[in-house]
Chains A and B, each alone.
Chain A
Amino acid sequence: MATSLSYYLREMARGEWLRNFLFVKTAPYETPPHFRDYPRLTGKECTHCLACMMICPTPGAIEVLKEDEGWNPVIYPGHCIRCGLCVEACPEGVLMSGRILESQFFENTGYTWTFHLTVDSTLCMRCGNCSVACPVNKEEDPQLAATGTGENDEVIMRVKGGELRILHEEKCTGCKTCEEACPNSAIRVARVIEAIHTAEEGG
């Protein structure tokens, strides 16, 4: 303890160290062109596909809200970590930030995503809330949506053989209605995102 204290004192009392510490010279502050600020709107029309909300890793950072006639994403700076994923994910180019859109265009990069559903069968009551509420199931089996009685196996999931079976995970759009309707947090929707790079020229 005593030796390290005296070591520090000796080290920091040197004139050179003090000079460097107090009068340090750095380059003047300038925003570099690749700096990603909070995403801004480009003015293009939002189609309310919610891809930006789907990909955003930060809870509460982005929301697509209705404004007069159309929809538009709104960024909440206190939550946003400026990762720029929403800018890249938006198929319509509604958002921009730094050089993301340019580099995406020139390098042909993008994302694809699928959803992975898991059911914790120890928590699940097979109440059917999720399968009756799911909007995709509603299209595939109106009978299930209207009466809770599964009629076919084209749905994403339904109660079968005493279990909530996931039958067509690939049809899931990630809306998370099922998660909201589940009283036991037994069903979970996870997005599986892949960065892709297509070979063709941008254009």
Chain B
Amino acid sequence: MKKCDVICPFCGCLCDDLEITVEDNRILGVDNGCTLANAKFMGKERLTSPIRRTDGGWEDINYDEAIRYTVDMLLDADRPLLYGWSGTHGEAQCIGVHMCELVGGIIDSTTSVCHGPSILAIQEVGHPGCTLGQVKNRADVVIYWGCNPLEAHPRHMSRYTTYADGYFLDNAFRDRTVVVVDVRETETARVADEFVRIKQGGDYAVLSALRAIVRGKGDMIPPSVAGVPRSQLERIVRMCKDAKFGAVFFGLGLTMTKGKYKNIRNAIELVDELSRHTKFTITPMRGHWNVYGSNEVFTWMTGYPYAIDFCRGIAFYNPGETSAIDILARKECDACMIIGSDPGAHFPRKCVEHLADIPTVVIDPVPTMTTAMANVQIPVAVSGIDAEGTAYRMDGVPFRVKKVIEPTLPSDTEVLGDMFARMKEAKGL
């Protein structure tokens, strides 16, 4: 049986056009999806029951034991951290916030290690953004800055920005100009019309130079800025000003390099400047599936998008102090629940070591690098494969994600819901 219009559960593109062939509750094939989507749907290594660490090994336990362990761990802890949330749907994130408030813990999503700086910049200067549909139908200049969509969001170019014909562009990529700005020649740079190679850490200077040229102050720019010749910068500004509609996309190459959130602020202000001449927008390339949703959910519920600390009884937000990496690096937290993310693979060594020292529960369908630090892992149904819920695309469009096969395991919402109910009971609420 073919299931149509299935939403991909992997990256922030949330491609909603996959066709999945299902036979006897098993997935046999994926049409239209990229390699990452295919690997996600066809993945075989799922755990079938919760596991607990024993001396030198693992033992299977049942859900009741696993949930009891987690509840006790969180209730006993002084400063529990609830981290991850990008791989799960909005409903589960909601329960997470309630749980966190109840135990007076810290809740943080993977945002703090990817686009946290983008959010700080947006809080300062706003976000001139648009949906991907606008980009597809209108943009004739597309700039990818510090990101490599072909690796992290493989269908971004073919579906939303470059190759797909748009309402106002029937010659798609012949009518569009793609500019890639990066420190190395990425796969995306190979198919771009113009590649700007920047010296490591030079983004802020180049953005400022571009702003100066847009403002007509190009003569004060030195002949080369962070390795980029002035003539190339001038050409790019001309291209942008001549565009009918321009779209900037940026990734970790801009948020996580020297300058951090100031880079993004500068990029947003460049877009602002360009919008005085034509239409320009800017969108962060949110990587991990529903990471954008975690910011939305946390914001509705607490007022803040990530790194929220409830130890005072009210929501407190101070990234750099209350973000997961800092809490772990200072060895502040004494218990951790990780859901829908793999910090074991991305966090600095110091943080990972602390995770291994404290009681840690991982809620994840498959064994990951973080499993190595966990005391208990609880497998769940995968949102978008055998669990349903709401997820946000990188441009902030929410989708209702359906399931394509019947679950054999509980979903994140069910597991967290059960935990939350028991917590309330324990607290006499």
Contacts and interface: CB of A to CB of B under 8 A. Distances in A.
Interface string B147-163: 00011001101110011
Interface in A118-158: 124-129, 131-133, 138, 142, 145-150, 158
Nearest to B28: A161
Given A132-B158, A181-B163, A150 B31 contact: yes
Nearest to A162: B38
B48 interface: no
A162 B32 contact: no
How many B residues are at the interface, by size bracket? Answer: 20 to 34
Given A148-B164, A182-B191, A128 B34 contact: yes
A160 interface: yes
A144 to B, nearest CB: 9
Q: Which among A128, A142, A182 has the highest number of chain B CB atoms within 10 Å?
A: A128
B31 A127 contact: no
B33 interface: yes
A128 B165 contact: no
Contacts of B15: 148
A182 B30 CA distance: 21
Contacts of A124: 35
Nearest to A149: B17
Given A128-B155, A133-B173, A183-B188, A160 B31 contact: yes
A145 B17 contact: no
B188 A129 contact: no
A183 B32 contact: no
A128 to B, nearest CB: 4
Interface of B is mostly: mixed
A92 interface: no
B191 A180 contact: yes
A59 B37 CA distance: 38
Contact of A147 (B31, B33, B164, B173): B164
A52 B173 CA distance: 25
Contact of B150 (A125, A142, A159, A160): A125
A126 B34 contact: yes
B187 interface: yes
B154 to A, nearest CB: 4
Contact of B154 (A126, A150, A158): A126
Nearest to A163: B38
Contacts of B17: 147-149
B31 A181 contact: no
Contacts of A147: 17, 159, 164
A133 B172 contact: yes
A149 B4 CA distance: 11
Q: Which among B21, B155, B159, B163 has the highest number of chain A CB atoms within 10 Å?
A: B163
A103 interface: no
Nearest to B4: A149
A128 B158 contact: yes
B150 A181 contact: no
Contacts of A149: 17, 32
Given A145-B165, A147-B17, A127 B157 contact: yes
Interface residues of A, number: 27
B44 interface: no
A181 B17 CA distance: 21
B427 interface: no
A184 interface: yes
Contacts of A180: 191
Contact of A129 (B30, B38, B191): B191
A161 B31 CA distance: 5
B426 interface: no
Contacts of A159: 31-34
B32 A129 contact: no
B372 interface: no
Contact of B32 (A133, A150, A184): A150
Contact of B29 (A132, A142, A150, A161): A161
A21 B30 CA distance: 75
A149 B33 CA distance: 9
Contacts of A145: 164-165, 172
Contacts of B34: 125-128, 159
B369 to A, nearest CB: 23
B150 A127 contact: yes
A162 B163 contact: no
B190 interface: yes
Contacts of A158: 31-32
Contacts of B1: none
B42 interface: yes
A179 to B, nearest CB: 10
Given A127-B158, A129-B157, A162 B30 contact: yes
Interface in A91-105: none
B284 to A, nearest CB: 20
A140 to B, nearest CB: 14
A147 B172 CA distance: 11
A145 B151 CA distance: 21
Contacts of B162: 129
Given A125-B150, A160-B32, 12 more contacts: A126-B33, A126-B35, A126-B154, A132-B163, A142-B165, A145-B164, A145-B165, A146-B165, A150-B31, A159-B31, A159-B34, A184-B187
Interface of A: 124-129, 131-133, 138, 142, 145-150, 158-162, 180-184
27 contacts: A125-B34, A125-B150, A126-B33, A126-B34, A127-B34, A127-B150, A129-B163, A132-B158, A132-B159, A132-B164, A145-B172, A147-B159, A148-B15, A148-B17, A148-B32, A148-B158, A149-B17, A150-B32, A159-B33, A161-B21, A161-B29, A162-B38, A162-B42, A181-B163, A182-B191, A183-B191, A184-B187
What 3 pairs across the A-B complex have the smallest Cβ distances? A183-B187, A148-B159, A162-B38
